[in-house]
């Protein structure tokens, strides 16, 4: 009787031990998750991360704490994502700048420094000025910059970031030296726009959705969008080609990633959750209601997208003298 009991106890213990790895993996996540945002609060990257974070909480059953890690023209936050433990408890939103910063010599980080989860957002650049600015269109603004080199300061992101490149490319395509409008670095579009309203800069290049609240408040106006066609969300806003005859398009993208080496089963769980979020009405309504573009590319498709973006941005940055 005693021997039978002991054998049963040992067998039960062995079974529990064998089951343990599967049980641990099945339990992910067992505690709160941190979502790192490399840019400031209030911008498009922050807004996208926060809506996804709130919906991810519902899917995973654990809190998702969104943390803004700004500085270094995006390097600080992107490095914090890459350097974290690949255990699924630190995720992040990575942006188009990951295909730009290394070209400038700011970091050795590239798109290959992460476990890619999914691309979820793409937005073209817009050209914003204060609502009381005298320019009725972007053509008049460019003429003023050309006639007064150095007078017009611009902002919208860190030095050499995507919105800086948007401005530099627009000026270069119009025959204006890119440094004719000195760039004032900021930790994203939101602080850049606040600087615009306060009079610290005259121009902000960023996505139009990022400026929407100030446009709606009558404090900022957008003159053009750097896209092949007008936005469905802003149908009255002309393209740069329509408004000034400049064939220059550029935009930002945002996607979710984890540190390199994330276990495959955790990857699969997160990608499945993000896919469900992307297809859901709450995410779609939030993004479209604010004019944000949506685009889905999971894992390997996201890698291919980032590789192409990295190569094309490097080419343009070299041509504009923004790469080292």
The string of pLDDT tens digits covering residues 122-147 is 999 999 999 999 999 999 999 999 99
Do residues 235 and 141 both lie within one domain? yes
CATH of the domain at 298: 3.40.190.150
% of residues, the chain, pLDDT over 70: 92
Of the residues 221, 244, 267, the one at which a domain ends: 244
> Is it the case that residue 180 has pLDDT exceeding 60?
yes
Do residues 109 and 134 both lie within one domain? no
- The answer as to whether 171 is a domain residue is yes
Do residues 157 and 110 both lie within one domain? no
pLDDT 10s digits, 264-298: 999 999 999 999 999 999 999 999 998 899 999 99
What's the whole-number average pLDDT of the chain?
Answer: 91
> Is it the case that residue 13 has pLDDT exceeding 90?
no
Do residues 181 and 85 both lie within one domain? no
The pLDDT of 225-240, averaged and rounded, is: 93
Between 282 and 6, name the one with better pLDDT. Answer: 282
Task: Please enumerate in sequence order all residues whose Cβ is within 8 A of that of 98, keeping only pairs 6 or more positions apart, or say none.
Answer: 74, 78, 109, 110, 111, 113, 114, 306, 310
The pLDDT of 211-238, averaged and rounded, is: 95
pTM here is: 0.81
Do residues 55 and 148 both lie within one domain? no
Residue 251: what are its φ and ψ, rounded to 5°? -150, 175
Do residues 283 and 297 both lie within one domain? yes
Identify the CA nearest to 256 among candidates 243, 267, 241, 242.
267
- The answer as to whether 24 is a domain residue is no
- pLDDT, residue 46, reads 95
Of the residues 216, 244, 272, the one at which a domain ends: 244
Domain count, the chain: 2
* Cα distances (angstroms) measured from residue 300 to each of 106, 207, 271: 26, 27, 11
- The answer as to whether 22 is a domain residue is no
* Cα distances (angstroms) measured from residue 191 to each of 103, 141, 159, 200, 293: 25, 22, 14, 11, 22
- The answer as to whether 200 is a domain residue is yes
Do residues 65 and 106 both lie within one domain? yes
pLDDT 10s digits, 18-66: 444 444 445 899 999 999 999 999 889 999 999 999 999 999 999 999 9
> Is it the case that residue 2 has pLDDT exceeding 50?
no
Q: For residue 8, with 0-12 CB atoms within 10 Å meaning exposed, 13-18 middle and 19 or more buried, which class applies?
A: exposed
CATH of the domain at 167: 3.40.190.10
The pLDDT of 90-101, averaged and rounded, is: 96
- The answer as to whether 212 is a domain residue is yes
- pLDDT, residue 322, reads 87
Do residues 236 and 136 both lie within one domain? yes
d(CA 103, CA 314): 6
Do residues 265 and 175 both lie within one domain? no
- pLDDT, residue 26, reads 55
- pLDDT, residue 23, reads 40
Do residues 169 and 107 both lie within one domain? no
- pLDDT, residue 14, reads 39
Of the residues 244, 272, 295, the one at which a domain ends: 244
Domain residue limits at 200: 126-244
Do residues 66 and 101 both lie within one domain? yes
Do residues 227 and 136 both lie within one domain? yes
Band of the pLDDT at 6, cuts 50, 70, 90? very low
Q: Where are the beta strands (DSSP E) in the chain?
A: 33-37, 64-68, 90-95, 114-130, 154-155, 203-207, 220-225, 251-259, 294-298
- The answer as to whether 18 is a domain residue is no
Tell me if residue 312 falls in helix, strand or coil. helix
> Is it the case that residue 3 has pLDDT exceeding 50?
no
């Amino acid at each position: 009787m005693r021997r039978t009991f002991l054998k049963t106890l040992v067998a039960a213990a062995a079974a529990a031990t064998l089951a343990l790895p599967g049980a641990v993996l099945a339990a992910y996540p067992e505690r709160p998750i941190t979502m790192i945002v490399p840019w400031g609060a209030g911008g498009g990257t922050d807004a996208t991360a926060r809506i996804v974070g709130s919906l991810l909480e519902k899917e995973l059953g654990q809190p998702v704490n969104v943390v803004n890690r700004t500085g270094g023209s995006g390097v600080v936050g992107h490095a914090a994502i890459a350097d974290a433990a690949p255990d699924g408890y630190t995720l992040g939103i990575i942006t188009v700048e990951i295909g730009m910063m290394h070209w400038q010599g700011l970091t050795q980080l590239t798109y290959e420094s992460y476990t890619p989860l999914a691309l979820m957002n793409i937005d073209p650049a817009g050209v914003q000025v204060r609502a009381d600015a005298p320019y009725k269109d972007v053509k008049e603004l460019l003429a003023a910059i050309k006639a007064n080199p150095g007078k017009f300061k611009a902002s919208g992101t860190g030095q050499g970031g995507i919105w800086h490149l948007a401005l530099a490319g627009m000026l270069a395509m119009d025959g204006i030296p890119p440094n004719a409008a000195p760039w004032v670095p900021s930790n994203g579009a939101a602080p850049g726009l606040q600087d615009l309203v306060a009079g610290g800069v005259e121009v902000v290049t960023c996505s139009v959705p990022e400026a929407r609240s100030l446009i709606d408040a009558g404090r900022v106006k957008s003159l053009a969008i750097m896209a092949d066609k007008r936005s469905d969300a802003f149908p009255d806003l002309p393209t740069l080609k329509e408004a000034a005859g400049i064939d220059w398009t550029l935009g930002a993208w945002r996607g979710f990633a984890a540190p390199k080496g994330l276990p495959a089963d955790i990857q699969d769980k997160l990608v499945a959750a993000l896919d469900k979020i992307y297809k859901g009405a709450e995410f779609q309504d939030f993004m479209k209601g604010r004019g944000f573009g949506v685009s889905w590319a999971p894992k390997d498709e996201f890698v291919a997208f980032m590789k192409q973006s990295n190569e094309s941005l490097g080419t343009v940055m070299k041509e504009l003298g923004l790469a080292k």
